[in-house]
């Protein structure tokens, strides 16, 4: 038991993606982003899908793989400050349901974007590059690895 701490988790950042309604909120947020992009008059449908995919993956990369630490005061002696949110997710246990969901969701969005852009080479390259930037850091082999020292501190 942690006396004087408002939560019972050692690091509440680890369980936030499993909280009730989080996945539904995530899907609705991506859907709303796409609807907003579709409502812009001079955006075509392929451009809206590509922008939805790229903006989603950019946001996912920043919030899950670039930002380190936790917004909560944790009694873990500063261990969480060196880990990204993805590395903290489910206490680092691989292949949990939330990790699978957040790995599969950009893949599904990529398939949708590729289909609705009719596999146009320009859109396809942008969507593929965007997908790889969020899938490669999710690999279990890269857990805690800092390539070229990027995001080391």
pTM for the full model? 0.86
With bands split at pLDDT 50, 70 and 90, how would you rate the model's confidence at 68? confident
> pLDDT for 39-60, tens place per residue?
999 999 999 999 999 999 999 9
On the 0-12 / 13-18 / 19+ scale of CB atoms within 10 A, 57 is buried
Q: Residue 4: is its pLDDT beyond 70?
A: no
Which 3-state string (H, E, C) describes 52-110? HHHHHHHHHHHHHHHCECCCCCCCCCCCHHHCEHHHHHHHHCCCCHHHHHHHHHHHHHH
52: CB partners within 8 A, 6+ apart: 30, 33, 34, 37, 109, 113
Mean pLDDT of 112-124: 96
Give the pLDDT confidence of 127-136 residue by residue, as tens digits.
Answer: 999 999 999 9
């Amino acid at each position: 038991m942690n006396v004087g701490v408002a939560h019972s988790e050692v690091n509440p950042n680890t369980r936030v993606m499993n909280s009730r309604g989080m996945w539904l909120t995530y899907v609705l947020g991506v859907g709303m982003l796409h609807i907003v992009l579709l409502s812009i008059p001079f955006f075509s449908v392929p451009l809206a899908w590509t922008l939805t995919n790229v903006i989603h993956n950019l946001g996912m990369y920043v919030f899950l793989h670039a930002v380190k630490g936790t917004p909560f005061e944790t009694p873990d002696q500063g261990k969480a400050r060196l880990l990204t949110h993805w590395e903290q997710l489910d206490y680092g246990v691989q292949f949990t349901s939330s990790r699978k969901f957040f790995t599969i969701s950009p893949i599904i969005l990529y398939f949708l974007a590729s289909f609705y852009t009719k596999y146009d080479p320009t859109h396809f390259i942008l969507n593929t590059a965007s997908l790889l930037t969020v899938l490669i850091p999710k690999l279990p082999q890269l857990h805690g690895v800092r390539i070229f020292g990027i995001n080391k501190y």
